[in-house]
């Protein structure tokens, strides 16, 4: 035993007690930090979902109101003439297709988050897929007087992809490019071989561009840069996250290069079909620069 003043200690007990208390304090601090971080993440996720639901209420009501309104007019025969009937029927179809696209987007995100979304890979021609996607978005581009340029490498090898999901990726990216490019702007599509056994599809626009923080927001599910009731552009904000997830499911990747006020470039990299993989020399000769 040792004597210090009027206190008696066993050898090492003071140090042992201090170490024990210090260890408990560190553990409590770590638990508190982890709890606070989890709380912040939960609050951010809740806020994002709340904003998404608020925006979705508008996105869903608009086509539904159009469907109900034009259907009522056709049912009550307040429309005169076959031309008007044909026109209103077309409005109903457009609204229904828009509504279906919204619902499919929500369902896809739910499947992605649950890990239940899959792709059926086969050898496909990127040229034919891209042309069918351009037919869908070029009408909107013409309305805004936006020029769309396409540059595809000659004799491009086939991709190993799910045709429907590849089309979904491209339509999402092209629709975003048209949506955020101002009138008289320009969109450029470059398709070629960036590296051996990988086909690169780049979509560049002269739109508003994004900062690094805005890119992070745009890439997160339920995240929207232009959110709120006074937002300027329609949409759920799910296009980029879904396109990224689908690219990853294909064994590829999606990258965004953007600068505020200087446009955006989105590049999707996808593997070639096994039978179409060229030699390293050929890939370098036709690579995108």
Cβ atoms of 264 and 177 within 8 Å: the answer is yes
Contacts of 271 (CB under 8 A, 6+ apart): 159, 160, 197, 198, 199, 250, 251, 252
Cβ atoms of 143 and 178 within 8 Å: the answer is no
Compute the Cα dihedral for 166, 170, 173, 179 and give only its sign.
Answer: negative
Q: What is the pLDDT of residue 223?
A: 56
Paired strand residues for 185: none
Long-range contacts of 81-90 (CB under 8 A, 24+ apart): none
Give the mean model confidence (pLDDT) for residues 138-142: 88
Cβ atoms of 126 and 156 within 8 Å: the answer is yes
What is d(CA 160, CA 272) in angstroms, rounded to the nearest whole number? 5
Report pLDDT digits (tens) over 162-208. Answer: 999 999 999 999 998 998 899 999 999 999 987 778 899 999 999 88
Report pLDDT digits (tens) over 23-42. Answer: 677 777 777 787 777 776 66
């Amino acid at each position: 035993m040792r004597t210090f003043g009027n206190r008696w200690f066993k050898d090492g007990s003071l140090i042992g007690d201090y170490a024990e208390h210090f260890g408990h304090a560190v553990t409590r601090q770590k638990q508190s930090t982890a709890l606070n971080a989890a709380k912040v993440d939960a609050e951010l996720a809740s806020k994002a979902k709340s904003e998404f639901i608020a925006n979705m209420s508008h996105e869903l009501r608009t086509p539904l109101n159009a469907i109900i309104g034009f259907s009522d007019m056709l049912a009550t025969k307040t429309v005169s003439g076959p031309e008007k009937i044909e026109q209103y029927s077309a409005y109903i179809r457009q609204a229904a297709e828009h509504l279906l696209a919204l619902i499919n987007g929500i369902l896809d995100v739910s499947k992605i988050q649950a890990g239940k979304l899959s792709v059926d890979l086969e050898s496909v021609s990127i040229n034919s897929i891209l042309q069918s996607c351009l037919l869908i978005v070029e009408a909107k581009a013409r309305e805004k007087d936006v020029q769309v340029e396409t540059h595809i490498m000659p004799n491009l090898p086939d991709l190993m992809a799910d045709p429907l999901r590849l089309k979904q990726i491209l339509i999402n990216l092209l629709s975003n490019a048209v949506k955020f490019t101002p009138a008289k702007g320009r969109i450029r599509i470059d398709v070629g071989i960036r590296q051996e056994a990988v086909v690169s599809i780049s979509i560049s626009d002269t739109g508003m561009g994004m900062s690094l923080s805005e890119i992070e927001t745009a890439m997160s599910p339920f995240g929207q840069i232009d959110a709120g009731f006074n937002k300027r552009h329609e949409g759920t904000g799910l296009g980029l996250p879904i396109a990224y997830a689908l690219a990853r499911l294909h064994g590829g990747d999606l990258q965004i290069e953007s600068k505020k006020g200087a446009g955006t470039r989105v590049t999707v990299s996808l593997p070639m079909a096994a039978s179409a993989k060229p030699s390293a020399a050929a890939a370098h000769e036709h690579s995108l620069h």
